[in-house]
A = this chain, B = another copy of it.
Amino acid sequence: MAEKTVGGAATYISLAASIFLEKMGLVSVVGDDFPESVMQKLRDRGVDLQGLEVLKGKESFFWAGRYHYDMNTRDTLETRLNVLLDLDPKLPAEYRKAPYVMLGNLDPVVQGKVLDQMNERPALVVMDTMNFWMDSAMPKLLEVIARVDILTINDAEARQLSGEHSLVKAANKILAMGPKYLVVKKGEHGALLFGAGRVFFAPALPLEEVVDPTGAGDTFAGGFIGFLARTQDHSFVNLKRAIIVGSALASFCCERFGIERLLEVSREDIDERIQQFVELVDFDIELVEE
């Protein structure tokens, strides 16, 4: 069991995205227990915090969980939304023209309010969500899903959202809800990308040691949109690359508790890991027909 560590979807997403971007803004809310040192680290990496509200005398969002033996599934022991209950996002003026928007996993009401404040339709909106909102706020969730380009959820959530066993059928149903692409995150089993009538499978790197998978999904999302924002290419071919980049970053995230490893990862580290992905799935085969 780890001690309490700083977290939050926005922290992981922005740290990962900042590897590819000079400048980005963050919208969220924390209590005054959130460490100034982490905020400074974000600023140092070009993350604008105008959109981060710090509520005096309140506590930050807190989550505690226990990972199962395979480090892939987990039970939530405690969730304290704390300040997140007060989150009424107000986008600073310059955020409103951002071409790339990542909606972290939060109340779809909040996600919708962010989109409402954009001056015009962003070039790309990626949305993360989870089963909690499917259970508690499905109508609103569907409304927001209809407004985004890419949805990222895990395999159980894809099945829950669509009511289909088969991930192929689930993907077809979810794509009919609005998004052009669906990313199905499967933790240690990799990720699938559906859309444009195609499917791509990215493996997860088998790791010697998984210390803490918390934040891996957010790190994936941050690397994914960061790479897309940098390359400004939304083709299926480039989305595949973005998935590999996001998966590589997520693998670093699992190697230490919290944001530690992510703070020190270099471009060279990423390149090396991407090369491991290339080798991991590489095969050549003569077709067997004679």
- What per-residue 1/0 map shows which CB atoms of A143-161 lie under 8 Å from chain B? 0000000000001100100
**Whole-angstrom distance between the Cβ of A265 and the nearest chain B Cβ:** 11
Chain B residue at minimal CB-CB distance from A241: B285
Q: Which of A28-36, A92-100, A112-120, A197-205 contacts B (4 or more CB under 8 A)?
A: A197-205
Within 8 A of B (CB), among A10-59: 20
The answer to whether A70 and B271 touch across the interface, beta carbons within 8 angstroms, is no
Q: Which of A122-130, A164-172, A173-181 contacts B (4 or more CB under 8 A)?
A: A164-172
> How distant is the Cα of A30 from the Cα of B245 in the complex, in angstroms?
52
Contacts of A208 in B (CB 8 A): 166, 168-169
Contacts of A287 in B (CB 8 A): 271, 274-275
Within 8 A of B (CB), among A178-237: 186, 188-190, 192, 198-203, 206-210, 227, 237
A109 close to chain B: CB less than 8 A: no
A278 close to chain B: CB less than 8 A: yes
A281 close to chain B: CB less than 8 A: yes
Chain B residue at minimal CB-CB distance from A283: B240
**Whole-angstrom distance between the Cβ of A149 and the nearest chain B Cβ:** 20
Chain B residue at minimal CB-CB distance from A186: B189
Partner of A71, one of B165, B245, B284: B165
Residue among A69, A199, A201 with max Cβ neighbours from chain B (10 Å): A201
- What per-residue 1/0 map shows which CB atoms of A245-288 lie under 8 Å from chain B? 10000000000000000000001101100110011111111011
A101 close to chain B: CB less than 8 A: no
> How distant is the Cα of A189 from the Cα of B201 in the complex, in angstroms?
10
A75 close to chain B: CB less than 8 A: no
Contacts of A206 in B (CB 8 A): 166-168, 192, 199, 201
Known interface pairs A207-B166, A210-B165; A274-B285 also in contact (CB < 8 Å): yes
Partner of A168, one of B189, B203, B207, B268: B207
A135 close to chain B: CB less than 8 A: no
The answer to whether B189 and A70 touch across the interface, beta carbons within 8 angstroms, is no
> How distant is the Cα of A289 from the Cα of B271 in the complex, in angstroms?
7
The answer to whether A274 and B288 touch across the interface, beta carbons within 8 angstroms, is yes
**Whole-angstrom distance between the Cβ of A233 and the nearest chain B Cβ:** 12
The answer to whether A281 and B281 touch across the interface, beta carbons within 8 angstroms, is yes
The answer to whether A281 and B207 touch across the interface, beta carbons within 8 angstroms, is no
Known interface pairs A189-B190, A206-B192; A165-B69 also in contact (CB < 8 Å): yes
15 of the cross-chain contacts (CB-CB < 8 Å) are: A20-B288, A69-B159, A70-B155, A70-B156, A166-B210, A169-B209, A190-B190, A192-B206, A199-B206, A240-B283, A244-B283, A245-B285, A245-B288, A270-B288, A278-B285
Top-6 shortest CB links A-B: A189-B189, A271-B287, A201-B203, A240-B283, A281-B281, A267-B289
